[in-house]
Amino acid sequence: MAGSTLEIKDLHVEIEGNEILKGVNLTIKGGEFHAVMGPNGTGKSTLASAIMGHPKYEVTKGSIHLDGEDVLEMEVDERAKAGLFLAMQYPSEISGVTNSDFLRSSINAKREEGNEIPLMQFIKTMDENLDFLDIDKDMAQRYLNDGFSGGEKKRNEILQLMMLEPAIAILDEIDSGLDIDALKVVSEGINKMRSENFGCLIITHYQRLLNYITPDHVHVMMQGRVVKSGGPELAQRLEAEGYEWIKEELGIEDETVGQ
Ligand SMILES: Nc1ncnc2c1ncn2[C@@H]1O[C@H](COP(=O)(O)OP(=O)(O)OP(=O)(O)O)[C@@H](O)[C@H]1O
CATH number at residue 59: 3.40.50.300
Residues 121-134 as b/e (b if ≥16 CB within 10 A, e otherwise) read ebeebbeebbeebe
84 lies in some domain: yes
List the residue whose alpha carbon is closest to atom 7 of ligand 1.
15
- Tell whether ligand 1 has an atom less than 6 A from the beta carbon of residue 44: yes
257 lies in some domain: no
pTM (2 decimals)?
Answer: 0.93
- Tell whether ligand 1 has an atom less than 6 A from the beta carbon of residue 257: yes
**Which pLDDT does position 168 carry in this prediction?**
97
56 lies in some domain: yes
Rounded CA separation 6/9 (Å): 10
User: Residue 42, CB half-sphere, CA atoms under 13 Å: how many?
Assistant: 23
**Which pLDDT does position 47 carry in this prediction?**
97
Q: Mean of the pLDDT values across residues 94-121?
A: 89
DSSP string, 155-173: HHHHHHHHHH--SEEEEES
Q: Which of 117, 147, 149, 85 is nearest to 126 (CA)?
A: 117
**Which pLDDT does position 1 carry in this prediction?**
52
168-172 and 199-203 as β-strands: parallel, antiparallel, unpaired?
A: parallel
- Tell whether ligand 1 has an atom less than 6 A from the beta carbon of residue 166: no
255 lies in some domain: no
Report the SS3 class of residue 62: strand
- Tell whether ligand 1 has an atom less than 6 A from the beta carbon of residue 223: no
For ligand 1, mutation pick of 20, 49, 175 (most atoms within 8 Å of CB): 20
Rounded CA separation 172/193 (Å): 17
* Beta bridge partner(s), residue 171: 87, 202
- Tell whether ligand 1 has an atom less than 6 A from the beta carbon of residue 38: yes
pLDDT tens-digit series, residues 231-245? 999 999 999 999 999
176 lies in some domain: yes
List the residue whose alpha carbon is closest to atom 8 of ligand 1.
46
**Which pLDDT does position 259 carry in this prediction?**
57
137 lies in some domain: yes
Which domain, by its residues, includes 194?
5-250
The share of the chain scoring above pLDDT 90, in percent, equals 72
Task: Evaluate if residue 122 carries a pLDDT over 70.
Answer: yes
258 lies in some domain: no
pLDDT tens-digit series, residues 166-195? 999 999 999 988 899 999 999 999 999 999
- Tell whether ligand 1 has an atom less than 6 A from the beta carbon of residue 126: no
| Cβ(124)–Cβ(184) below 8 Å | no
pLDDT tens-digit series, residues 21-68? 999 999 999 999 999 999 999 999 999 999 999 999 999 999 999 999
Task: Evaluate if residue 72 carries a pLDDT over 90.
Answer: yes
Round the CA-based radius of gyration of the chain to a whole number and report it. 18
| Residue 83 burial (C-beta neighbours within 10 Å; 0-12, 13-18, 19+) | buried
Per-residue confidence band for 95, with pLDDT thresholds at 50, 70 and 90: confident
**Distance from residue 143's CA to the centre of ligand 1 (Å):** 28
**Which pLDDT does position 141 carry in this prediction?**
86
**Total number of domains in the chain:** 1
Per-residue confidence band for 142, with pLDDT thresholds at 50, 70 and 90: confident
140 lies in some domain: yes
| Residue 111 burial (C-beta neighbours within 10 Å; 0-12, 13-18, 19+) | exposed
Give CA angle at 104 (102, 108), nearest 5°.
115
What is the predicted ipTM?
0.94
Give CA angle at 48 (236, 169), nearest 5°.
80
Rounded CA separation 181/246 (Å): 32
**Which pLDDT does position 258 carry in this prediction?**
66
Rounded CA separation 190/180 (Å): 15
